[in-house]
Amino acid sequence: MDDTGRSTDILIIGAGQAGLAVAYYLRRAARRDGPAAPSFVLLDAQSRPGGAWRHYWDSLELFSPADTTVLPGMRMPAHHGPGNPRGRDVVTYLTTYEQRYDLPVRRSTPVTALRAEADGTWTARTPRGDWHARVVVSATGTWTRPAWPSAPVIPGQEDFRGAVTHTVHYRSPAQFAGQHVVVVGGGNSGAQIAAELFLDAHVRVTWAAHRPPAFMPDDVDGRVLFDAGARRALAAVRRQSPDDAARPRTAGDITGDIVVTPPVAAARSAGLRAVPLDSGRLLDDADVLLLCTGFHPELGHLRSPEARLPDGFTLDPHPRTTAAEPTRSAEAEGLYFVGYGDWTGPASATVTGATRTARPAAADILARWASDRP
């Protein structure tokens, strides 16, 4: 279907957890205000609901129980298996959520370029034609832009002839049966994947990191992390110290990087330890180098040669947002960013964080919308 010439008041790019959370508040405003409320549409690159959760590794376990992993207006169903919900449970939840609120999602419609127009509106280019909007919310996440190191990260990598892969391509230990895998990364992804491989009898694994991984206390989950992180970020804002807000290893009185999920705890008890990256030539007998080195914001629609942004618009390391509302662009009127990480609000890349940052973002959009109306 050709969407050329379509227009809406508010355009949300991405229908993962962040995009859906913003859409919920816009839908609620529409039910409250009727025809006076702004129209909105979500454009999503995927053919099915679920966002990035559809592509995570098979055994991925959330850091928080179901009753605290919620989008606004609808609880996640109780998880009856061991541990916390899995990634596939979130896919089901997001699918049901989208249907329950009848959110206007256009599937298989990636935005390839975003253009600021002279009249203050925006044009979003897609393979199905252009969309026009007064406000754009970018909620494309990070999963489709893995952070591949630009230089070797481990001694001997220049001469390594085995496979080099990334978290984004990992599904299960079955991929590496009979092989020696070196996992690089001292964060949660590295810990969870190294633990799963370590507990599989058919895979040999070496876990390597720049520094010794710091484990959270066993009773700390996502609820505690989010609340502590939010307090830390607020304190840093009050001190006007962005460096403090970005510090990764301490949140309130909680120190560490890695949440101890049951598989991580089991692997650690069974002897899994991370070794320093520079402790010898770890790749000499390895078959696979698996890089758990994180992700960058997926902003291809802003980086495209066809994109048109205000002069001096900042893209690296990420767009600038305002201190008063961290989802609102500081450099482009009518442009918002939701769900990318702490620079768009504390823990905003999580389900819980997306919920807590989407509400003020939507409120800001609606307030500015109302003030701009004749």
> 10 and 134 share a domain?
yes
> 283 and 305 share a domain?
no
First to last CA, the chain: 34
> 75 and 137 share a domain?
yes
> 122 and 44 share a domain?
yes
| 188 falls within a domain | yes
Number of domains forming the structure of the chain: 2
Q: Quote the strand ranges of 89-177, DSSP E.
A: 105-106, 113-116, 122-126, 129-138, 163-166
> 315 and 368 share a domain?
yes
> 19 and 63 share a domain?
yes
Q: Which domain holds residue 173?
A: 157-215+257-291
| 83 falls within a domain | yes
> pLDDT tens per residue, the chain (374 residues)?
455 569 999 999 999 999 999 999 999 999 999 988 999 999 999 999 999 999 999 999 887 778 778 899 999 988 777 778 889 999 999 999 999 999 999 999 999 999 999 999 999 999 999 999 999 999 999 999 999 999 999 999 999 999 999 999 999 999 999 999 999 999 999 999 999 999 999 999 999 999 888 888 776 665 565 565 555 554 544 444 334 333 344 444 445 678 888 899 999 999 999 999 988 889 999 999 999 999 999 999 999 999 999 999 999 999 999 999 999 999 999 999 999 988 999 888 889 889 899 999 999 999 988 887 65
207: helix, coil or strand?
strand
**pLDDT score for 258:** 83
d(CA 162, CA 269): 30
DSSP state at residue 61: B
> 270 and 173 share a domain?
yes
| 239 falls within a domain | no
Q: Please count the CA atoms within 13 angstroms of the CA of 57 that sit on its side-chain side.
A: 23
> 18 and 41 share a domain?
yes
| 50 falls within a domain | yes
pLDDT digits (tens, 9 = 90+) for 329-338: 999 999 999 9
pLDDT digits (tens, 9 = 90+) for 46-93: 999 999 999 999 999 887 778 778 899 999 988 777 778 889 999 999
CATH of the domain at 284: 3.50.50.60
| 345 falls within a domain | yes
**pLDDT score for 260:** 86
| 150 falls within a domain | no
> 200 and 109 share a domain?
no
| 140 falls within a domain | yes
> 282 and 306 share a domain?
no
| 231 falls within a domain | no
Determine whether 187 is exposed, middle or buried from the number of CB atoms within 10 Å of its CB (0-12, 13-18, 19+). middle
> 168 and 279 share a domain?
yes
DSSP state at residue 39: P
> 333 and 276 share a domain?
no
Cα of 341 vs its chain's centroid, Å = 7
Q: Please count the CA atoms within 13 angstroms of the CA of 46 that sit on its side-chain side.
A: 17
